[in-house]
Structure formats: C-alpha cells, structure tokens
Amino acid sequence: MSHPELNQLIRAEQLIDEIKFNEALEILNDQSQYEGLNLQQKSYFQFLKGLVLLYLAKGEDIINLGEEIYEEGQKHNNNLQSFDGLFFIITGLALSGKFEEAFKLFEKAELTLKHISNVSKEILTLRKVRLSTIKAFAGLYSDKADLVEKSIHWIVDSQEEFENSFEIVWVNLTMADYLLRVKSNFDLSMEHIKKALSIAMEIKFNHHWIALCEAHLGVNYQVIGELDKSLKHYMKCIEFFKKSGSIFHIAAILNNIGNLYGEKGEYDLAVEYLEESLNLFEQIPQSFFDIDTPIDSLISLAVEHEDDKRAQKYFHHLENLYNQKKSIHLEILYKFNKALMLKSSSRIRDKAKAEELFKELIETDTIVFDLIIKAHINLCDILLTEYRIDNDSEVFSELNHYIAKLLSIAEKSHSYLVFCEAFILQAKITLLNFDIKSARLFLTQAQKIAESYSMKRLAMKISYEHDDLLRKTKMWENLITSEVSLSERLELTGLNEQMENMVKRRMIEVPEISNEEPVMLLILTEGGNLLFSKKFMEDFSFEDDILGGFLTTINYIINEVFSEGLDRAIFGQYTLLMMPIKPFLICYIFKGHSYFAHHKIKNFLDSIHNDSLIWQSLKKFYQKSKSIQINDIPSLESIVTEIFIEKKIEDSLLLT
C-alpha cells in the first residue's frame, strides 16, 4: 500500500475532490500506475476513472473503458469485473445516444449479475441498483419511458434502507425527471430533487451531483414559468460545470438559459447563450442531447424577431444536418421550421404552404409531442389571422377544431402549461360569440389544472381574468344587441394577445393582486340550509339586500352556477366563492380579487376536514338540523380567525 503508484492514484482522488477532473484523468489514464496493484485496488481506480468520465459525459471514452474492464473480467473469469465493464459500456452508449445498442446489452448484464458469487450482499445489491438506474435513465431519454418506474420503483420505495451513494442520488434525479417530463407532477418531482440534494450533500465526490440537483431545480421552475427562480439555479450549477470542464453540461445549461431569455423576450441574450451552446455541442462527437435543439430555438427566435438573415443561416444549418442524417426526428424538425419560415413570409402563397405543412405535421404519428403542439399553435395562429381578415364562419369552425385537437394532445402528452393556455384561448374565442357562461367554464377548468400542477403564475393570471370577466358581464350582455365589429370584439377579448403569447411562449405576466377584504363565511348543507355563518365586517348587515337576495336564491345559485362547474358569482360589490366538501358547501363572501380568497377557502376546507373534533361536531349539528354558533365549537373560531383574518398569503404563494 506504500508504493509510489498507489500514492499517485490517491492523489487522483484528491484532484477529483478538488474538481480538477482533467488532471485526475491524466493520472488515471496512465496504465503504468496500475502495475503492482491487486485486482480489488485496480478495479476501484478503474471505477473512479469511469466516474470522472461520467461526470464529464464522455460517452465514447466510457465505452472504451467498459470494454477494457469487461475483457479483463472475462480473461480472469471474474463475473463482478465483467459486470462492471458491461455497466460502463451501457452507460457510455446511453450518454452517446446509442440507445438501441445499450438495450441489447441489458440482458447480458443481468445474466452476468446472476452469476456473481463470493461477494457480500451489499456489493451485489449496489450492482443491481446501478443496472436498474442506467436502464431507467436510458428508458427516459429514448422511447421507453415506461421503463423508469418498472426499473427503479424497488429502489425508490425502500431507499431509506440503502446507504447514501451517488447511485441513490441518480435514482432520485431520474425519477424527478420522469415525474416532470412524463407525468407533469411538479410537486412530487420537487420532492425527489430535494431528496437527491440532501443525499448528495453527504456523499464523497459530491460537487457534480449537487450541481445536477441545481440543474434539475432550474428545469422544474422553467417548466412552470417561474423563470427568475429557474435562472438562479442555472447560474449556480453552470459555475460548477465550467470549473469541472464538462462541455456537455455547460452546453445543455446554456441552451436552457437561452430558451429562458427567449421566454422573457430578451432576444440578444437568448441568441448569445444559444449560440454559445451550439458551439459547444459541435465539439461533442455524439450525445443523447441532440445538437439540433439549440438550432431549433435559434430559428424560432430569429423568425419571431424578424431577423431573416439569422433565421436563414440556422435553417440551412438544420437542412444540412437533415441531409446528412435522415432520422424521423430531424425530418419533423426540418418540416416544422420550414413551415415556420414560410409562415413569416409576407406572400399569401407561402402562408398557404405553411398551413399545409403544419397540417401534415399534426397528422404525423410521432412521440415528438413538443413540435406537434407547436405546429397546432402556429396553425391556430394562421387560422385566427384568416378569420380576422375574412370573418369567414368556415375558418372559425376550423379554428375551433384545431384548438380542440391542441387540448387533446396537450393533455395526452401531459403538457399542462399549454393545456391551460389553450383553455384560456378557448374561453376568449367563445366570448367572440358572447357565450359568457362557456368562457367562464373554460377559465374555471384552466385554473383548476394550473393549481393542481403548481403553476402559480398562470393560476393568478386565470383568476384575474375570471374576476375581470365577472365584473364585465353586464357589458358583454349589452354588446349582444349592439352591432359591435369583429375587430372590436377581438380587442375586448384579448384573443390576439393570448394567441401571440402562446406562439412566442412568452413568460406569464403576473397581474397585481392583493389580499381580498373578508366579508362573511358560510357553511351550508347540501340542501342549501345555513348551518354556520361568521361576519368579518362589523358594519355589514345580515339583512343587507344583496346578502338577503343571495340567501333567498341560494338553491338557484347552487343548481344554476355551482352545479355547472362554476365556482364564483358576483353580487354588486361582493364576490362569492364556493367549494364543496360533502355533505357541506363552503361559501366565502369578500371584496376584491379572488385568487388569494380561493387559497384561503381551500385551506379552511382542509383544516376543518382534518380536525376530527370540528368535523364530527359539524356532522352532528347537520344530522340534528341545528345551526351552529361560534362558541359551540371553540376551535372553529381560532381556525377561521387564523385563515381569514390574520394570514396574508402573497409571499408564501409566490416565493416558495
């Protein structure tokens, strides 16, 4: 253990810890350093080399290392070493985007794993974890996403039993990625990232994994439109990747930042980051992250900003790639960008060709949902422009047809941000025909989805628009009998702006929303009888004409408003929000915006349902058909006071 070769290899460990990966590789690449080491020592330092290559995402080098280890294992009839070699070969193939080749080796690796003997249970389990993790990773980035849960659920479900290691960090990040990209479960995805980060903090050589956790946080926040939070996490991780020299990770994060600035509308910064990303990707022989990704973004941004010279430059770049490598993915990307270029032309025949190409793409049987979704959006934009010019009912019907298709594919692909935005679009289109009730239903559906998937900025925007529509109901009703022009109606609905935001994928602008002013809280039975009431305004009279009118028509409201899927109504200066929890209906009357009011009533509903004393008391009074006074259930008053009077919730909703 004291010979100089081993000391040098120990020095390589120190260099890895100091994030000097390339210096560590210089030592680990020197075959003379392994002379005199026993098999266990050599295997450890070979694994260390593989780990550094993984950190640098050098797929081809990992394959070569794996083949070397596998051959040695076969030569010495050592199944453990042979398995380690196969693990690195598969990992290298996956990182290089050679998924078909990788999947061909899994059966061989599993068979080798079964024949490993004379090792501890811990060593064998760790190898099983590694194989399951790389299978899940390969499945996620190919067309076999269903393999993720199948491969690693046994690790995720019992991860507390495993010793903290980079493998468990990798498992959690892969699961987080799967939950976000495939299931659109933002909250659960965030849980796995936080779990990964807490483990990464405790393991050896952890800098790379901490940076990866930061990168995943950046992606998650970008997906739900929280761009400022996203950018902070990207800037944290890219600082590490630049220090480590990982060209692949730098390029990937630069691409994300470029797209982020594009969403913010900052064209010059977006182009700067995307071009830098592209330059780095061109230095990488092969990767599971395609080089066409930044090219596609550069074309879209250039078209959007009418930068014809740059758009043509990168379109020719994409065209050359397509001609060199005739893959299905590149064909779809090429057709989409060709349609995009034609759409931006001032010539009518070019726009007609763009419309044909978008329709062709929409009918393509592919899993490249993002491009198909963008094709739908751009086609709807063309049709809206046609309708704006010609006021043709046939074009209007076609527009509605493709919006319905957009909703369907957005739901199918779990693209819930687009799903919500399409509901808003549909709400504005129904308003063109003065169908206020349908518009409100679409907005209600959109907000429920936005709330369910933690898209807080979008939920605020939808709630604000719904409130605004309620306040303008009389205006829209009066317009029905007037001869208001289509252009005026388009302006009033804000349809053009909504379409433009969807085409350009603009950052969601959050309207100024303040906490509401509480007026009264009511708990009603399913039959519409008043069970409990609490006034928050001293000068508010229970006999007030407006409230009196509400109470006398409560059954009508429940049947005509709430039962149809709507959740709010306006009475003069007051807004009423309703939320059910069988056998009760919670009603909250207030002045002002409804967004924070919605969260308060939801919080109240959860609190009383989870408090067994309150819940059983409410049910007892309900069964006896008796009304409740505030001192009948003392703990109820404290919950009401805490939620509706004391709590200001803007910060907790927007800054978490």
What secondary structure does DSSP assign to 247-312, as a single string? HHHHHHHHHHHHHHHHHHT-HHHHHHHHHHHHHHHTTSS--SS-THHHHHHHHHHHHHTT-HHHHH
CA distance between the termini of the chain: 51
What is the spatial distance between Cα 364 and Cα 249, in angstroms, rounded to a whole number? Answer: 32
pLDDT of residue 654: 43
Q: What angle do CA 502, 503, 506 make, to 5 degrees?
A: 60
Q: Report the pLDDT value the prediction gives residue 649, as an integer from 0 to 100.
A: 52
pLDDT of residue 1: 42
Given the structure tokens 């910060």, which residue do they identify? 651
**544 pLDDT higher than 70:** no
Is residue 69 within 8 Å of 88, Cβ to Cβ? yes
- Residue carrying the six token digits 């976000």: 180
The dihedral built from the CA positions of residue 17, 19, 24 and 28, taken in this order, carries a sign that is: positive
pLDDT at residue 236 in the model: 95
Indicate the range of 77-86, 150-159, 382-391, 499-508 predicted with least confidence.
Answer: 499-508
Token pair recorded at residue 112: 């080798």
- Write the CB contacts of 102 (distance below 8 Å, at least 6 apart in sequence): 90, 93, 94, 134, 138
**Mean pLDDT of all residues in 415-425:** 90
Cis (ω within 30 of 0) for the bond into 511?
A: no
* Helix axes of 612-623 and 595-610: crossing angle, nearest 10 degrees: 90
SS3 627: coil
Residues in a beta bridge with 323: none
Mean pLDDT, rounded, of the chain: 89
Rounded to whole angstroms, how far apart are CA atoms 47 and 62? 10
Question: Residue written as tokens 């409990």?
Answer: 532
Asked if 90 and 106 touch (Cβ cutoff 8 Å), the reply is yes
- Number of Cβ atoms within 10 Å of the Cβ of 566: 18
* Residues 548-586: tens digit of each pLDDT: 555 555 556 666 555 566 778 887 788 888 888 888 889
Pair 615, 606: CB distance under 8 Å: no
Q: How many residues does the chain have?
A: 656
The answer, yes or no, to whether residue 26 has pLDDT greater than 90, is yes
Cβ(515)–Cβ(500) below 8 Å: no
Question: Per the structure block, which two tokens stand in for 493?
Answer: 């609905």
Average pLDDT in the 413-436 region?
A: 90
- Helix or strand holding residue 571 (H, E): strand 568-571
Check if the beta carbon of residue 432 is closer than 8 Å to that of residue 495: yes
3-state SS assignment for residue 145:
coil
Strands 584-591 and 517-525: antiparallel
Phi and psi at 46, nearest 5°, equal -65, -40
Q: Using CA atoms, how far apart are residues 191 and 183, in angstroms rounded to an integer?
A: 14
Please give the share of the chain, as a percent, with pLDDT higher than 90.
58
pLDDT grade for 147, boundaries at 50, 70 and 90: very high
Phi and psi at residue 584, to the nearest 5°: -120, 165
Residue 511 CB burial class (10 angstroms; 0-12, 13-18, ≥19): middle
Residues 6+ apart with CB under 8 A from 332: 361, 364, 366, 368, 371, 372
574: Cα separation from own chain's centroid: 36
* 120-129, 369-378, 626-635: least confidently modelled range: 626-635
Question: SS3 of 526, please?
Answer: coil
pLDDT tens per residue across span 350-371 = 999 999 999 999 988 766 688 8
Q: Measured between alpha carbons, how far is 428 from 496 in angstroms, rounded to an integer?
A: 9
Give the whole-angstrom CA distance, residue 96 versus residue 64.
Answer: 12
Cβ-in-10-Å burial (0-12, 13-18, 19+) of 203 comes to: middle
Q: Round to whole Å and give the CA distance between 611 and 397.
A: 51
Q: What is the mean pLDDT of residues 21-28?
A: 94
Is the per-residue pLDDT at 453 higher than 50? yes
568, 607 in Cβ contact below 8 A? no
Q: What is the pLDDT of residues 103-113, one digit of tens each?
A: 999 999 999 99
Amino acid of residue 417 = L
- Per-residue model confidence (pLDDT) at position 35: 82
Give the C-alpha distances (Å, rounded to integers) separating 110 from 134, 171, 254, 354, 535.
12, 18, 37, 49, 67
- pLDDT at position 651 is 41
What is the pairing mode between strands 574-581 and 568-571?
antiparallel
| Residue 473 three-state SS | helix
CA distance 133 to 155: 9
The pLDDT of 60-70, averaged and rounded, is 96
Mean pLDDT of 393-407: 93
Adjacent-strand bridge partners of 535: 520
How far lies 318's CA from each of 107, 210, 294, 517, in Å?
37, 34, 10, 56
Mean pLDDT to the nearest integer, 535-550: 62
Per the CB < 8 A criterion, the answer to whether 565 and 444 are in contact is yes
pLDDT at 510 over 80: no
Distance CA 332, CA 434 (A): 39
* Predicted local confidence at residue 225, as pLDDT: 84
Predicted confidence band of residue 133 (pLDDT cuts 50, 70, 90): very high
Burial 215-248 (b: 16+ CB within 10 A, else e): bbbbbbbbbbbbbebbbebbebbbebbeebbbbb
Which tokens go with 326?
A: 């005739």
Does residue 423 sit in helix, strand or coil? helix
Relative orientation angle of helices 416-432 and 393-412, to the nearest 10 degrees = 160
Instruction: Quote the tokens at residue 173.
Output: 């990040």
Q: Is the pLDDT of residue 290 over 80?
A: no
Angle, CA 200 vertex, CA 195 and CA 204 arms, to 5°: 155
Q: How far apart are CA 480 and CA 475, in angstroms?
A: 9
What pLDDT shows up at residue 541? 59
Q: 10 Å Cβ neighbour count for 621?
A: 18
| Gyration radius from the chain CA atoms | 30
